[in-house]
Amino acid sequence: MVPRCLVVSVALLASSATLGTTVVSSRQQAPASPALYNTVKQKLAAGRKVVGATVWIADPELYCAVANSGFDFTWIEMQHSPIGFPDVARMLYACRGASAIPFIRVSDATEGDIQKATDIGALGVIVPMVDTVEKIEAAVTFAKYPPLGKRSQGSGQYGAIWGSGYRQTANDNIMVVAMIENPAGVAIADRIAAVPGVDVVFVAATDLGSFSGLSQGNPEYEAMVSKTQQAILGAGRKVGGPVGWINRPGYSFFQGPSETGIFRCGARTALNLQPTGCPTAGVAEIEGNEAR
């Protein structure tokens, strides 16, 4: 049955209901040897689906509520929101025991953005508008320490969040997500997915429609989506998409609703009212059209 609200959508992911219950103990002790404490990476490797809540609001208490509500990760939105790195640093530090793994969508694949995102404790870097191989190669380079990349070893709060052995374990735990949002990216999806260090390639439903002028369900639009998915899976990477596509075969990494959507859906469900603001499976919601 098609899920009607967030509660049901998350219930569809019963296999990931534990949602990182083991991560707290791994954070409290400095690992003696490289350890995999990124529970999103663990779950994907085990063939499970993961869902992240989208975070727009720079409030540590609200962030902690979202990060401990049952999602696998948080999708901290720094491309389209006014949130700054000092805000996000406070949020991550305040909620450093949360079960949801922090991912940040940076503005671009720049050394500065990716260095700051990883230094404040993000274990996932989401790179928008990937339509050249060079762009995602740069993102991997800046996200990984030598010998895999050129990330600088500066000071950061990563150690307070992930332990004093962070330098030895970071390359195994930091994930890189490439977003394909236009036809140019679709055309080279196989090459983007083949870049070493890329973990997930995300099919961006809204912008793919915006740049192509096509709507979900249109045969040409769906052909682009299918071509991209096949290229990603052919390269051995995980396929991401909006939570509205949770029932599409082959997808395993999903961007979920924002804090406002979660609050509206949960409040109306608690009041036994017709839920609104809840994600539904099928056609993905168009970003920018959400009720506020």
| Burial 54-89, CB ≥16 within 10 A → b, else e | bbbebeeebbbbbbebbbbbbbbbbbebebebebbb
Contacts of residue 150, Cβ cutoff 8 Å, sequence gap at least 6: 141, 142, 144
List, as one string, the DSSP characters of 105-132. E-SSS-HHHHHHHHHTT-SEEEE----S
List, as one string, the DSSP characters of 78-110. -SSS---HHHHHHHHHHTTT-SSEEEEE-SSS-
* Cα 91 to Cα 121: distance, rounded to the nearest angstrom: 10
Asked if 172 and 120 touch (Cβ cutoff 8 Å), the reply is no
* Cα 7 to Cα 288: distance, rounded to the nearest angstrom: 23
* Cα 89 to Cα 60: distance, rounded to the nearest angstrom: 9
* Cα 100 to Cα 91: distance, rounded to the nearest angstrom: 13
> Which residues lie across from 254 on neighbouring strands?
51, 241
Active-site pick, 80, 152, 220, 274: 80
161 is catalytic: no
Q: Which two tokens stand for residue 281?
A: 């499976």
SS3 146: coil
- Residues catalogued as catalytic: 80
